[in-house]
Amino acid sequence: MTQGTFDLYWIASNPLVRGQGVGAALVSGMEGDIRRRQGRLIRVETSAMEAYGPTRGFYAAMQYKEESRFRDFYKPGEDLIILAKRL
């Protein structure tokens, strides 16, 4: 229902290997595949909850930018953040 837009639904790594480039390699590989498919935009949803701070930092390091925020989405005080990266 979109042209060239992809969703990154979920990425996870074992806590024992976090910070060793596994997540970055997975995202880079995904982005390469999307480029080969002539994709133009990747969308990611995450939470504003404090526990997701490292997740948001990871995506920021991968050049994903906040596009929108739905206030109180998950519960009062916990926003949904939509990030995007244009290829």
- CATH number, domain of 54, equals 3.40.630.30
SS3 for 42?
strand
Number of other residues whose CB lies within 10 A of the CB of residue 58: 19
Domain coverage including residue 49: 5-86
Alpha helical stretches, state H, 9-70: 22-36, 53-61
The segments of the chain whose pLDDT lies below 70 read none
Counted domains in the chain: 1
Residues pairing with 86 in the sheet: 41
Largest separation between any pair of C-alpha atoms in the chain? 41
pLDDT per residue as tens digits for the range 74-85: 999 999 999 999
pLDDT at 51: 93
Number of other residues whose CB lies within 10 A of the CB of residue 38: 9
pTM above 0.85, yes or no: yes
Distance CA 40, CA 31 (A): 10
